[in-house]
Homo-oligomer: A and B are copies of this chain.
Amino acid sequence: MKLDYLEIYDTTLRDGAQSEGISFSVDDKIKIAKKLDDFGVDFIEGGWPGSNPKDMEFFEQAAEIEWKNARIAAFGSTRRVKSQVFEDTNIRLLLAAKTPVVTIFGKSWNLHVTEGLRTTLEKNLELIHDSIDYLKQHDKMVIYDAEHYFDGYKANPEYALQTLQTAVEAGAERIVLCDTNGGTLVHELLEIIEASLALDLGVPFGIHAHNDSDVAVANTVAAVNRGLNHVQGTINGYGERCGNANLCSVIANVALKCDTKVKEKVNLSSLTNLSRYVSELANLAHREEAPYVGNSAFAHKGGIHVSAIRRNRQTYEHIDPSLIGNHQRVLVSDQSGQSNILQKAEEMGIDLSGNGHDVKNIVHHLKEMEHLGYQFEGADGSLQVLFMKATGQYKPFFELLSARVLIDKREDDSIESEAVLKIRVNNIVEHTAAEGHGPVDALDKALRKALEPFYPTMKSLHLVDYKVRVLNSEKATAAQVRVFIESSDDVSVWGTVGVSENIIQASWLALVDSISYKLIKDNKDVHEQ
């Protein structure tokens, strides 16, 4: 039996979270799940209840949310050899997660049965049967992940097939063939799939591939082309060791290049955005060279390529990047740089060539700042302030006379951060101080205290996000630091950026840009010195 569409099972929050360097908070997980739901995936595997406290907390919160497209799945193993199914801790926690779907993994590889579980092949079939049967009695949709299926099949094909049969007899509604160690190449995978489909179990099959041989996406797409339309993977291919099949690539390949239908609810044109969002929450740099969704995926260097794509995009682009929400970039071309910047300024209502200014100089200045580590993609606030400065349209809202930040740490580990600020507004000198949770918080508080009497609308300004990236981290504590701040005033949201060797200075630059942007917005006419 074959599904007549691509069924997307996302395990970013469980298998993806096994990536070295990823550690999602419960809050991160809820945010990502909502984004996946918006995008249109069918299943969201939230975690393994009981493996750590965060996972259960996620399921508690998830149960309260009305999901539009996705069903939430809890993941866990078959019952233990020594416990009865109804008293098995793992199985009980799976039920406690209160998800509509439970994904159970069991052993298909005789080696794992005897060396891992240290039980008999016979007994392992019982574990599979009991666990699925019990979950079905509790009205769960059960997906069966056949762990190490391909290695198992190579070692003992009869037994591997028997485990699948057992799972189906117990009521599993999906049978997912897992290449857990990621060691299988495409041709082997297809041979084993062929032999397994011959069983004709009457249940849709799926594929779960790992990337240890650098072919996880190819394996997944090959399986889909053979009718295994339930695909498990992660956004950006996150996952332990070399990662899982990258759903971004899989979905794009299937949607744009294969016969299998991708449901209409799948919002393909937000794929790039989804990918970036998840890397942001994982706090991993978005891979520039990532297929389809990377910043370089449709970037063309000068020369032959550029003149050819100007005549016909198809000459050097395998798909139209807008289909997946990405865009073409032409590199090392001042001409195109200029037109981008002109377009951006126009959007902001700024006439860059006004006041007799030269757009070329502004572009040049911007490139210099980018060379220093500035990045304006998420920092429209800073960009607008910069445009206004460059064209003489900016008048500062205050003048900094001095700022001092003091961090005081005592023997008992208590710590205090204090900022002392002297600024001039309207020719009045304000000398003020504030404490905060850290040096930047203290600076922010002191600055507001000084400015609010003059600019009452600042009360509505608040910071919603704060990010730090160390640029040349190998210079260690003397490295260049980039700070991104996202601010909002309940009407709009804007980003600002600051770069310095000193994290406090970088934060200060981003803070001041944020306040300037806000005040420009509110005081289009009344600029005060």
Residues of A in contact with B (beta carbons under 8 Å apart):
17-21, 23, 25, 27, 48, 51-54, 77, 111-112, 115-116, 180-183, 185-187, 211-215, 217-219, 221-222, 225, 237, 240-243, 246, 249, 253, 257-258, 283, 288-292, 294-302, 304-305, 308, 311-312, 314-319, 331, 333-335, 367, 370-371, 373, 375, 377-378, 399-411, 415, 417, 436-441, 444, 462-479, 481, 485-486, 500-505, 507-508
B411 near A225 with CB under 8 A, answer no
Determine whether the beta carbon of B437 is less than 8 Å from that of A411: no
B residues within 8 A CB of A485?
Answer: 476-477
On whether A291 and B214 interact (CB within 8 A), knowing A51-B335, A308-B115, A502-B438, the answer reads yes
Cβ distance A45 to chain B, nearest Cβ, rounded Å:
14
Shortest Cβ distance from A255 into chain B, in angstroms?
12
Name the B residues within 8 Å of A211 (CB-CB): 289, 291
A253: B residues at CB distance < 8 A? 185, 213-215
Q: For the complex, give the distance between the alpha carbons of A478 and B464 in Å.
A: 10
The 3 closest A-B pairs by CB, nearest first: A183-B318, A218-B218, A463-B476
Minimum Cβ distance to chain B for residue A501 (Å):
5
Distance from A49 Cβ to chain B, minimum over Cβ atoms (Å): 13
Given contacts A253-B185, A257-B185, A318-B212, contact A370 B23 (CB under 8 A): yes
Task: Indicate whether A441 sits within 8 Å of B296 (C-beta atoms), given known contacts A221-B186, A410-B402.
Answer: no
Which of A20, A116, A464 counts the most chain B CB atoms within 10 A?
A20
Q: Are B312 and A111 in contact, CB atoms less than 8 angstroms apart?
A: yes
A470 & B467 in contact (Cβ 8 Å cutoff): yes
Cα distance A116–B377 when bound, in Å? 25
Selected A-B contacts with CB under 8 Å, 5 pairs = A186-B222, A213-B249, A242-B296, A438-B503, A439-B439
Return the chain B residue nearest A399 by Cβ: B411
A26 to chain B minimum Cβ distance, whole angstroms, is 10
The answer on a CB contact under 8 Å between B289 and A243 is yes
Tell me which residues across on chain B come within 8 A of A373, comparing CB atoms: 23, 25
With A52-B335, A243-B289, A411-B400 already in contact, the answer to whether A316 and B180 are too (CB < 8 A) is yes
Q: Are A249 and B214 in contact (CB-based, < 8 A)?
A: yes
CB A205 to nearest CB in B, in angstroms, measures 18
CB-based contact A288/B477 at 8 Å: no
Instruction: Specify the main secondary structure of chain A where it touches its partner.
Output: mixed
* Given A181-B316, A183-B318, residue A21 in contact with residue B437 (CB < 8 A): no
Contact call B367/A52, Cβ cutoff below 8 A: yes
User: Given A222-B187, A476-B462, A181 and B317 touching (CB < 8 A)?
Assistant: yes
Residues of B within 8 A of A406 (CB): 404-407
Most chain B beta-carbon contacts within 10 A, residue among A246, A373, A405, A476: A476
A308: chain B residues at CB < 8 Å are 112, 115-116
Residues of chain B within 8 A of A334, CB atoms compared = 23, 51-52, 54
B400 touches A404 (CB 8 A): no
Could you tell me the distance in whole angstroms from the C-beta of A187 to the nearest C-beta in chain B?
A: 6
In the complex formed, the residue of B with least CB distance to A179 is B318
Q: Does A407 contact B408, Cβ atoms closer than 8 Å?
A: no
Residue numbers in B under 8 Å from A404 (CB-CB): 406-409
Residue in A316, A378, A399 whose Cβ sees the most chain B Cβ within 10 Å: A316
In the complex the two chains form, what is the Cα distance from A46 to B406 in whole Å?
Answer: 45
Residue on B nearest A333 in the bound complex, by CB: B23
A301-B240, A331-B20 in contact; A474/B478 too (CB < 8 A)? no
Known: A241-B289, A437-B502, A477-B507. 6 other contacts (CB 8 A): A19-B289, A181-B317, A185-B257, A438-B478, A438-B505, A466-B476
Nearest-neighbour CB distance to chain B for A439, whole angstroms, equals 6
- Report the Cα distance A79→B118, complex, angstroms: 68
Q: Which of B246, B314, B465, B508 contacts A409 (CB 8 A)?
A: B508
| Bound CA span A294–B301, Å | 28
Given the complex, which residues of B lie within 8 Å of A375, measured CB to CB? Answer: 21, 23
B467 touches A473 (CB 8 A): yes
For A292, list chain B residues within 8 Å (CB): 212, 214
Across the interface, A18 reaches (CB within 8 A) one of B249, B294, B302, namely B302
Residue of B nearest to A424 (CB): B411
Complex contact B301–A21 (CB within 8 A)? no
